[in-house]
């Protein structure tokens, strides 16, 4: 975004077409609409899906860890987990690592809901990302993750190495190319040196034949 694309608050106007928060919200609405039907069928909301997905990524994550993974604030997440536990989607147990904390796990019902909704949410992601050219998708995810990490107090959202474009093969250095060319040049020079010798041998054979003919005559 250039300086010309930033809001000029002194004019008393607000341009939604360059508002980052508005555009991100619009993009999230599109993604939510794509997966809404499958989420309703699974009986969960998009936020609950995110909690189920984050819980499935690790073995008994704590509530604090789920805050980091989902970006949902601590008090809201606590209320969500209470409701999700009451509806049989998750189960909380004392953490083996910290007696004061609780680890969260999925129940069979939670796993079924996640399995039912995951393909639709993945398709929603694909429908959005495929709008971008292939060589811009990794950069787009990188930018979103950088923005989230910069505004979050927790650990980095994820390792982006899986999205990294393969690095191009390095160009061979000029010296290496020159070194490879040297044997070829040497062979060419050796051939040039051998040419006069070959001509001399051919000449000797010709004169020898002539002498033999004269002797016979």
67 with 24: CB under 8 angstroms? no
pLDDT at 161: 45
Helix (H, G, I), strand (E, B) or coil at 105: strand
The per-residue pLDDT for 150 is 84
Which residue would you say has higher pLDDT here, 9 or 135? 135
Residue-range definition of the domain harbouring residue 211: 172-217
Q: Confidence band (pLDDT; 50, 70, 90) for 160?
A: very low
Instruction: Please tell me the total number of residues recorded for the chain in this structure.
Output: 217
Clarify whether residues 106 and 191 are in a common domain.
no
74 in any annotated domain = yes
Q: What average pLDDT does the structure give for the chain?
A: 78
| Cα–Cα distance measured from residue 72 to residue 64, given in angstroms and rounded to the nearest whole number | 10
What's the pLDDT tens digit per position in 108-117? 999 999 999 9
Percent of the chain with pLDDT over 90: 41
Q: Is the pLDDT of residue 165 over 80?
A: no
Residue 157 has pLDDT above 70, yes or no: no
pLDDT digits (tens, 9 = 90+) for 58-84: 999 999 999 999 999 999 999 999 999
pLDDT value at residue 173: 56
DSSP notation for 155-207: S-S--GGGGPPPPPPPPPPHHHHHHHHHHHHHHHHHHHHHHHHHHHHHHHHHH
Asked if 26 and 116 sit in the same domain, the reply is yes
Count of domains forming the chain:
2
Q: Which residues 6+ apart lie within 8 Å of 92 measured at CB?
A: 81, 85, 102, 103, 104, 105
**106 and 40 belong to one structural domain:** yes
Helices (H), 9-133: 20-42, 46-57, 63-70, 74-86, 108-129
| pLDDT at residue 208 tops 70 | no
Query: Is 3 within a domain?
Result: no
């Amino acid at each position: 975004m250039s300086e010309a694309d930033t809001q000029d608050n002194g004019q008393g106007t607000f341009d939604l077409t360059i508002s980052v928060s508005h555009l991100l919200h619009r993009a999230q609405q599109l993604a939510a609409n794509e997966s809404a039907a499958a989420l309703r069928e699974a009986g969960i909301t998009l936020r609950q899906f995110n909690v189920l997905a984050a819980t499935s990524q690790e073995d008994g994550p704590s509530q604090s860890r789920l805050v980091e993974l989902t970006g949902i604030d601590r008090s809201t997440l606590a209320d969500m987990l209470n409701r999700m536990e009451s509806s049989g989607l998750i189960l909380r147990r004392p953490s083996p690592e910290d007696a004061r904390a609780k680890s969260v796990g999925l129940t069979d019902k939670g796993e079924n809901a996640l399995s039912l909704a995951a393909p639709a949410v993945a398709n929603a992601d694909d429908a959005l990302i495929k709008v971008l050219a292939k060589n811009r998708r990794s950069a787009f995810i990188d930018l979103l993750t950088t923005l989230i990490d910069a505004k979050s107090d927790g650990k980095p959202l994820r390792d982006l190495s899986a999205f990294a474009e393969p690095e191009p093969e390095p160009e061979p250095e000029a010296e290496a190319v020159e070194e490879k060319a040297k044997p070829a040049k040497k062979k060419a020079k050796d051939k040039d040196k051998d040419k006069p010798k070959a001509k001399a041998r051919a000449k000797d054979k010709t004169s020898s034949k002539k002498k033999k003919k004269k002797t016979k005559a």
